[in-house]
Amino acid sequence: MIHKVIIPAAGLGTRLFPATKEQPKEMLPIFSRSSHGDMMVKPVVQLVFEQLHEAGLREFCYVVGRGKRGIEDHFTPDPDCIRTLEGMGKNGPASDLEGFYEKLESSTIMWVNQPTPKGFSNAVLMAQPFIQNESCIVHAGDSAIISKNMDYIKKLVEGDMVEVSREVRVDHLIESYYQATAEVFHFALGKTTNSKEALEETIETALKALGQIGFKLKFDKKVISELADLKMQLEECCGGKEYEDAISKLEDVDFFTKQEILEFAGIMSMSTEKIAARDKIQKKFSNLLRSSNEK
């Protein structure tokens, strides 16, 4: 079950100039229904938050940058504004704003500053102290998706993933693009999901890339499936998962060093029998991979 959300909102919005020259693109207004069913306008980033909140999510990390202070201000409750609206007889907007503030008060929100816009992968990396080693949803702050009963979000919350359309490695992370246009990341080992299907796609991409650097490989779906099975067996026998929580709490240790520590802890905690099992699996993996190379 996923509980945390990263919302990147540091982009410059140059494709929407001049509308975004003096305001964050995430604060552009969008038509929406109020809690009473009336038509109203609200910032798109508020609508995204309310959709995620309605789907049961309560922990949010907003990655913002220069010129995005307006987003933080909007997400800071202002009781005086509600009283002003009520004094003007605008009870509908006052009630809706009060409902928004109640959602904020029932949520945990962290703000992370990204000085230079560097894309989703960097935003996810900067949010790692908030996520630790948990799975999370990454949802754009400037893209509201309309679906029946927030179905596209609930599919992500209740399961490990939805249909993957493609995956791209970015340094030590993997960006996954889903048909629901939201991503699920898992930080423990820099992987997106624990599914065999995602691993098979990564292996197939890697094998094809080897062909671009001179290797002549012959493989099929059966070989890819067997390689994926062996990779998963290796992870299961020597992943050091029992140390993940303790390692995630280490202070003054960056994310990538924690990954190395996790690997070392896994190796050092292995019994003689597990080392032998690991070596056997690695030999099978190596032999299968080498057998696909046409010399």
Task: Give pLDDT tens digits for 253-282.
Answer: 766 677 788 888 888 888 888 888 889 999
142-182 residue pLDDT tens: 888 877 777 777 766 665 444 333 444 444 444 444 433 34
What's the pLDDT score for residue 121?
77
Q: What angle do CA 102, 104, 109 make, to 5 degrees?
A: 160
What's the pLDDT score for residue 173?
46
**Which residues of the chain fall short of a pLDDT of 70?**
155-194, 238-240, 254-256, 295
What's the pLDDT score for residue 42?
94
For residue 8, give the nearest of 73, 83, 76, 68 by alpha carbon: 68
Beta bridge partners of 168: 175
150 backbone φψ class: left, alpha, beta (φ>0; ψ -120 to 50)? left
What's the pLDDT score for residue 6?
92
For residue 220, give the nearest of 123, 124, 156, 291 by alpha carbon: 291
What's the pLDDT score for residue 159?
58
